[in-house]
Amino acid sequence: MFIDEAIIQVKAGDGGNGCVAFRREKYVPRGGPSGGDGGRGGDVVLVASQHENTLLRYRFNPEHRAGRGRHGEGSNRTGRDGDSIELPVPVGTQVYDADTGELLCDLTEHGQRFVVARGGRGGRGNARFASPTNQAPTYAEPGQPGEFRRLRLELKLLADVGLVGFPNAGKSTLISRISAARPKIADYPFTTLEPHLGVVRLDDDRSFVVADIPGLIEGAHRGAGLGIRFLRHIERTRLLAHLVDVSEASGRDPVRDFEIVLRELAEFSEDLARKPMVVVATKMDVAQDPARVQALRRAAAAKGLPFHSVSSVTGQGLEELKRGLADLLFAQPTQGLGPLSAGDHQGR
């Protein structure tokens, strides 16, 4: 099950109380206060892990608490610090304060850590308050409470290329042919119910990551269909591949489909609409009317977008598409988010 959002509660450990004690031992002439300090409470730490790919574990386990510090003891013994806890989350997780909506952290690299709740400081024992004018203090500090927070975790997948288009435009079939991903493929709308990632490798040791999201329909930015739930997963991509079904069997106008998806992307996010894009005419093996393909080619040219025509069934145009996507990706500056910006795209 793919879960990309979760609300959790985290509580850092409380600090231990300081101790009030006095040293009274036989044959020890010098007594005095000997209360030790309380231990510090444990922290709650989020850790980005490439071994996690969903927030499922937090959907059904929303409460997490670190260990509290032990109280101080006599003979100047300090209480043990509380145990911190580490919560692994997928790379690409954004952490929000659920009450204020403030973005606290964006975990975009494997191993990145962020302390979301800090443990309370341990209280000082009475030995800390001894002075020439107060040689026998009878008080100590209580431990400070650990931080409590309600967090909203939101996963945005990291990929180089995002596949967008109407349902049944051939996105799942394409990603299954150019990568090792194996999404569900069927001849009905909304076959894809969750995002899929696939690594595309070329013979020249270049590789990049492709993300397939559920299809978009008109009104998606207002919540129609499934795509609105997953559009955020392509916000981090460096390039969009816009797939359009040009076969007559779809019963739709390719140019109109193309314009609708562009409009939905713009309504959802202006930044998303400004991303570099490649237009891909799909299902060429069953496209009988060349005029439909040419009309889509002209529409792409009018917007200055590269155009490819492919058939995932016969393999027509797939190598050219892979190389075209790679050339555009590697020609871009490597600043920003995404797998290519991490410098690990060679020989993955």
- b/e code 90-119 from CB counts within 10 Å (16+ = b): bbbbbbbeeeeeeeebbbbeeebebebbbb
Residue 148: predicted pLDDT: 97
In this prediction, residue 170 carries a pLDDT of 83
Rg (CA), the chain: 29
DSSP 44: E
C-alpha–C-alpha distance, residues 177 and 198, integer Å: 10
Which range of 162-166, 212-216, 219-223, 313-317 scores highest in mean pLDDT? It is 313-317
> Which domains, and CATH codes, for the chain?
5-155 (2.70.210.12), 161-342 (3.40.50.300)
pLDDT at 120: 97
**Residue 83 is encoded by which pair of tokens?**
């145990």
Residue 96 in contact with residue 103, Cβ under 8 Å? yes
**Nearest alpha-carbon partner for 242 in 161, 322, 164:** 164
Q: Looking at residue 127, what is its pLDDT? A: 93
Write the pLDDT tens digit of every residue in 237-249. Answer: 889 999 999 988 7
Q: In the predicted model, what is the mean pLDDT of residues 71-82?
A: 94
pLDDT, position 16: 96
For 76, the token pair is 């100047």
Quick check: 74 pLDDT over 70?
yes
Total number of residues shown for the chain: 348
Q: What is the pLDDT of residues 96-113, one digit of tens each?
A: 999 999 999 999 899 999
Q: Which residue has the higher pLDDT, 33 or 211?
A: 33
The Cα 51–Cα 89 span in angstroms is 9
Q: Would the pLDDT of 192 be above 50?
A: no
Q: Quick one: how far is CA 291 from the chain centroid? A: 42
Give the Å distances, CA to CA, from 47 to 7, 14, 121, 127.
17, 22, 23, 38
Which of the four pLDDT bands, split at 50, 70 and 90, describes residue 205? confident
Least confident among 117-126, 154-163, 218-227: 218-227
**CA distances in angstroms from 311 to 292, 317, 319, listed in the order given:** 15, 7, 11
pLDDT in tens, 122-138: 999 999 999 989 988 99
Q: Which residues share a beta bridge with 96?
A: 103, 152
Distances (CA, A) of 343 to 193, 256, 324: 31, 39, 20
Binned at pLDDT 50, 70 and 90, residue 270 comes out as confident
pLDDT tens-place string over residues 8-45:
999 999 999 999 999 887 777 777 899 999 999 999 99
Q: What is the pLDDT of residues 134-180, one digit of tens each?
A: 988 999 999 999 999 999 998 877 778 888 888 878 888 888 888 87
> b vs e for 208-224, b when ≥16 Cβ sit within 10 Å of the residue's Cβ?
bbbbbbbbbbeebbeee
Of 70, 68, 83, the closest CA to residue 146 belongs to 68
Task: Provide the β-strand partners of residue 134.
Answer: 131
As a whole number, the mean pLDDT across the chain is: 83
Q: Tokens representing 222?
A: 């207002």
- Name the 3-class secondary structure at 243: strand
